Homo-oligomer: A and B are copies of this chain.
Amino acid sequence: MVAHVATIDTRTQLLDAAEHLFAERGYRGTSVRAITDRAGANLAAVAYHFGSKAELLAAVARRVIEPINAAQAAGLDRLLARTADPAVADLVAAFVGPLFDEMPAGAESGARTSRLIVTILSDPAEETRAWTGPAEDTVRDRFVAAFRHALPDLPAEELWFRLRGILAVTAVDRVNLYNQRPSTSGSGEAARDWAITFLAAAMSAPPTGT
């Protein structure tokens, strides 16, 4: 029970290895053997510590998403403490920023985080669903309400479309469409700012006319 180790926990090393490999090759594309090799652990360690590969994925997802949700909630709190009517651009920044910035322990860069999320979520395997908890839903619903308040003329369906657009753009560096390199160059900070510019304008567009 007590931490009686000089080296890092096998469990943690499995989480780190799995996070890296899932982000890079997807859930189906990553074998348990690849994970345990990278972690320097035995093949059976995944079953022992997590029960199954699917449960390891759930543990990885939870570890990645938790700090993002906390940061999003904190950002929204900060915004609402300042004014009851936040601007659309500020809401976008509060929602998108953590997706670029947050960096779970053991990972190397924030960009990898969103890549992992989309890799997980765009995987059609059943195991990669059903991981969101009440915390995620709460944060999302609060943002929905805030956007609805800031954009009273936008029909609910179109608002949902736009919210999914936000997530899609945030994950843009994962989907290297048209054989583009994932991220053109340099800092992820620039990408975050570009995304906020891009999405704030998109969210502020007037509703699509009939």
Contact = CB atoms under 8 A, between A and B. Distances in A.
B205 A197 contact: yes
A87 interface: no
Nearest to A162: B198
The count of identical subunits is 2
Interface stretch (A7-15, A43-51, A52-60, A183-191): A183-191
A168 B161 contact: no
A171 interface: yes
Given A26-B28, A198-B162, A118 B175 contact: yes
Q: Is the interface of A mostly helix, strand, loop or mixed?
A: helix
Nearest to A156: B184
Nearest to A121: B177
A208 interface: yes
A83 interface: no
A119 interface: yes
Interface stretch (A33-41, A73-81, A100-108, A123-131): A123-131
Interface in A103-142: 117-119, 121-125, 129-130, 132, 136, 140
A174 B174 CA distance: 14
A202 B208 contact: no
Contacts of A63: none
Nearest to A182: B164
A160 B125 CA distance: 31
Interface string A189-210: 0110111111111101111100
